[in-house]
Structure formats: C-alpha cells, structure tokens
Amino acid sequence: MSQSVAEIRIQLPDGSTKTFDRPVTPGEVAASIGSGLARAALAAKVNGRVVDLDHPITEDTELEILTSKSPEALEVLRHSCTHLMAQAVKRLHPEAMLEDGPPTEEGFWYDIRTDPPLTPEDFPAIEKEMRSIAKEALPIERQELSREEAYRIFKERGEKYKLDLIERIPEDDTISTYRQGEFIDLCRGPHVPHTGVFKAFKLLSVAGAYWKGDAENEQLCRIKGTAFPTKQELDAYLQMLEEAKRRDHRRVGRELELFMHHEWAPGEIFWLPKGHLMYRQLSRMMSDLCRQEGYDEVFTPLLFKADLFKVSGHWEHYREDMFLFDDKDENQFALKPMNCPSHMLIFREKKRSYRELPMRIHDQGVLHRNEASGTLSGLTRVRQFCQDDAHIFLAQEQIEDEITALIGLVKRVYDLFDMQFSKVCLSTRPESYLGEKESWDQAEKALSNAIEKNQLDCTINEGDGAFYGPKIDFIVRDCLGREWQTATIQLDYQLPARFELKFINRNNEEEMPVVVHRAIFGSFERFFAILIEHYGGNFPVWLAPEQVRVLTISEKHEGYAQEVYEQLQSNGIRAEKDFSAEKIGAKIREGRMKRVPYLLVVGEKEASSRTLSVRSQQKGDLGSMPLGSFLEWINREKSAVF
C-alpha cells in the first residue's frame, strides 16, 4: 500500500518510526510516546536543530526529545532562565530597561539598566521573585512578528535597547518574541515550555558593562547567574565555585610568594624567586623536549619597524592590539605581539632545500600585546608574556604526518600534569581573512583529516580561525572539571606567500612551504595560572619551588638537622630549613600552609637514631625512616621529563 501524501513519518533516535496524518509538534510526539516523557521534555532536535516543543513539523523528520539528561537541554534551560530573571527584575523595578541576555557555558547573563544600579544586595529579592514566577508555571510562547509590530510593542514598553536590536536585525531575518505572563522579550529561542521547569538557579555576580561594548555609551549592569535541572547539581556547582575561589591563582600566588603586580607596570608580572624557579623549570623542560624533537631554538628581537607587520598582515588585522611608537627619526616601530613574522625572516635568510624540511623553529621570546586595562587579570590576561612558540616549515605532503606527531606531543606533555583532553576545536575561516578561499579549504581539510586520524572528539567553531589560517585548539579539563583552552596548532598558507618564502623541491623547482604555528603551553603566564589552580598550590615534588623543609624541635638538634639539610642540598633537592625558636606545631602549620611537599622533623629521637620523622603534604604522617631511605624516596619524585 503506498504511503499517503498527508502522512508525516517521525524517525526517533532508537530507530523506531511514528506516523501522523497531520502536522504535529515535538511536544505532541512526546505525549504519544508516554506521559512521563511529555512531562520531562524541555525542547527537541528536529533534523539536528534545537527547537521549542511547539515547533510545527510538517514533513518527514528526524526527531529527538530533549530532557534534562540531554546536554543540549541545559543551554535551553539557562537561556530560558535569563528571561525568568529579567521578568523578576521588571516586576521589582518596572523602570528597568533590558538589553541582551545569552546563555554561557557556566550559566547566563543579562545586561540591564536601573537607577540606581543593581547590586548583590538585590539578589535575594530577585531570586525570591524568580521562585514565585516558577511556581506560576507560566506558558512560554513563541510569536513571530513583522518588524513594525515588534517595534511598536517595545516602543510602548520604553525598551530603547530592544528597539536598537530590532534595527540591527537583517531585513530577511525572522523577528520572534517569547511571552510568559505579562513579560515579553525579543529572542530567537528556543525555550523551555513553561516557567514551572525551573527548580535550581542562583544569581552569582554583577558588574558594569557598556552598551554595545563601547565605553562612550552608558553603563549597564551585567547580572550573571546559573541554572541546573536539579538542586543537587546546583549545589555541586556552587561547591566547585567555592573551591575555585580557594584555588584562585592570584590568591595562591600571594600566599606562596610566587609573583606580584605593581600599578607602575600594569599587565606585567614580577616573578619572585620561587615563582621564577618554577617558571624556568617549565621553560627548560620545554626547551629540552623541543631539542629532542628536532627543533632549533632561537631568540629574536622585541622591537621591529612597522613595515614588518605591514608585510605580515598584522598591521591591517592586529594594529589596535600592538604597542606602537616613533623613534627620533620619526620611523614607526612596534613591540612584537607574536614571533611568526621574525621566523619568516629567518627562513628567508638563505636558500632552503626540501632536505631541510620539516624545519622547526622554537622561540620563547618576550611578547607584548596592548590589552585594554579593564581586561587585565592576574596571569591569565597580561600585556607582557612569553610563549613556548614554534613554527614549522614543511612541504604540503608532510602536513598530516606532522600534525599527527604534534597531537601526540601535546598529549605527552599534558599527561605529566594529569590533565586530560575533553575535546579539540577546529576553528575555520573567519569573515576577515588573508589569502584565497581555495587555500583555506585545503588547510581546513588537512587539519580535519589529522583530527579524524587521531580519533579526537571535535567541535567545529565556524569562523573562529586566525586571520591567516585555520587552527586546532585543545581543551583540557582540570581537577575541578573546568575546561581550559591551552595548546593550539594553526596551519598557514598566507604568511609564506606574503613573505615570498621558497624552497627547492625534489624536482629542483621552487615551491612555497606551508607553515604550522604551534604552542603547547600557550603563554607561560596563563599556563602557570592554570597549573596553580589545578594543583591548588600543592605542586608535584618535581615542580614545587621548595621540595623539603627541615624542622627542629629544639636548638639541641640543629647539628644533625644541618647535616640532613646539607645532604638534601648535595642531592639536588630544593630544601629549606626552619631552626627558629617557634614550637614544632607552629612550624608544621607554616610548612603545610606553604604547601611544602615534605616536612622532616628532627628531635631527640631522630638525632639519636639518625632517622627522620617524615610528613607528606599529600599523604600525611609517613612515620620514621633513615635519611638514606628518604633520599631514595624523594629522588624518584624530584625531577620529571616530558
């Protein structure tokens, strides 16, 4: 029997099919499967696109009902919670003007203007009103409007920021609003079906934000919050935030005296002795790894004539983020924001042969970027920094093998820190780019093949590539489950062309090389911040600036304690001593507060038996052991290689 023209076939994720003789919505499909699913449904995916539960289905479709267990549903829940918060604010402050409020990976935010501005003291009242709206279980309804009708609605409500948003919507785009009770907002959606689904939410912070991000415009309040399907998930997240505060690299950096800032050097780091020791440790280990992997390390100038960056394209695409000035002869100069242009000059310095390729250049030189003062933050956003930077010049046929080797190298480094990759992101051609579309397509295909070959979980970031080429960004998860973008591999056909780079290939013909830009740590400063928070200052022995501290119970035991200290030093162990008159309990507390991996207590018993009472920061009291046994123990932990 032939299928009726009116029939609509719905393909479900389990492979089953449901047939309807009329247009249907995802919510109706969920109800036809079961009342439990209908109650749990938050949104749906129609042919891979997330939509509302009342989205009309008029043709054969692949459908997935999204519940709180679906990853995509969390974003819909948080997006909808921005409207819940905005409605609560409008009920409490009818004069408030709303701008925009998107979901984020951690929650949501909304920019709002009130007089006076909202503060954290307002949060309890706003949250109480949000709970009240949730109890009302107001239906959330989508409506598509003409531009004129949308403009009329928001003009009547005095929402000037919404009128501006309407004016910026392209002529051929659909204008949609969502209504819940008396509240209506301009939004693309999708949203949850009603306000009754909100069970667990929390407002977290408020900060200033300029309208449209322009400091010339009025300032709004950016209220940040988060939402989860259950209170248990919310509580776990809030507990993680508290732990993150305790681990904040700025706080731990001060406590452990690793680095400092000063108002006379905004965005620049003073590395104190202990922090500098750790910094140099990471730097040396990366240099050693690169040398083993066939890299040549160089050091290039900090200051260049602006002409270099005009050739590279940075002048056109990056000038606002560079430090620029003139010399006495009125020549314009710039502090380099990245190493790649100088490495192009090194390659171009003499004729190159295919036998030299891949040619790998590693550089840990100082870089400067003119970040806005309001964005500067600890070690994560600075103006002066160094990268474990490298550029690899290679022939087209060498790309996939080299990228595969680099992926293995990145995994090898992060394994040492017990940081696992959650995913990689492939960032493709941005709107403003150098070169031809064909070479970009070629570069993106090469990176995609390498990702597939290495069986990596990949997310595509459309349009997020550098202006000169696509890139792979590695996302790692720390011990708190937070994700960080760290290593990056970028493929570049543009700079070799702009610098007219050539090598002589196997056919004795000139050929343009391809360049791979890669950093494994990224910037040392930002990576250092990630490590501090990942370990909470409790660094592994090989990285800790102070590996062992020798403590005396009284001055009578200083002779043996000094002997122990000298033995540690002669074994290449970073040891300190505390022979002060403080009581041993206070000395132990101080050592633990400074996160020293091992404390060695020396008293009458230890001095007479020539042993040590060993306390581990991680494992607690390890009991008594001879000095020789402790040296064997710590020698296994005191150093590491990638």
Q: Which residues are catalytic?
A: 340, 369, 387, 389, 391, 471, 517
| Range 259-290 burial, b when 16+ CB lie within 10 A, else e | bebeeeeebebebeebbebbbebbeebbeebb
68-74, long-range: CB within 8 Å, 24+ apart, which pairs?
A: 68/40, 68/42, 68/229, 68/230, 70/42, 72/43, 72/45, 73/42, 73/43, 73/229, 74/228, 74/229
Contact at 8 Å (CB) between 557 and 580? Answer: no
Q: How far is CA 308 from CA 97, 218, 350, 414, 499, in A?
A: 47, 39, 18, 35, 10
Q: Which two tokens stand for residue 388?
A: 């474990």
The structure tokens 């108002």 sit at 263
CA atoms of 633 and 635, how far apart (whole Å): 6
> Which residues, in sequence order, are CB contacts of 233 under 8 Å at separation 6+?
200
Considering only CA atoms, which of 66, 21, 22, 29 is closest in space to residue 48?
66
DSSP string, 386-440: EEEEEEEEE-GGGHHHHHHHHHHHHHHHHHHTT-EEEEEEEE---SS-SS-HHHH
Contact at 8 Å (CB) between 134 and 196? Answer: yes
- Residue 318: how many CA atoms within 13 Å on its side-chain side? 24
DSSP string, 56-125: -B-S-EEEEEE-TTSHHHHHHHHHHHHHHHHHHHHHH-TT-EE----B-SS-EEEEEE-SSPP-GGGHHH
Q: Read off φ and ψ for residue 114, nearest 5 degrees.
A: -135, 165
* Strands 471-477 and 420-427, sheet pairing: antiparallel
CA atoms of 361 and 510, how far apart (whole Å): 21
| Range 162-175 burial, b when 16+ CB lie within 10 A, else e | bbebbeeeeeeeeb
CA atoms of 106 and 90, how far apart (whole Å): 24
User: Would you put residue 573 in left (φ > 0), alpha (ψ -120 to 50) or beta?
Assistant: beta
CA atoms of 260 and 380, how far apart (whole Å): 14
Q: Where is 633: in which H helix or E strand?
A: helix 627-635
Q: Which two tokens stand for residue 201?
A: 């939410």
**DSSP-derived 3-state class of residue 196:** helix
Contact at 8 Å (CB) between 394 and 402? Answer: yes
| Amino acid at site 189 | G
The structure tokens 């060695």 sit at 600
Considering only CA atoms, which of 349, 279, 296, 253 is closest in space to residue 523?
279
The number of beta carbons lying within 10 Å of the beta carbon of residue 603 is 17
- Residue 284: how many CA atoms within 13 Å on its side-chain side? 11
Where does 193-334 have alpha helices with state H? 231-247, 249-255, 273-292, 306-312, 314-318
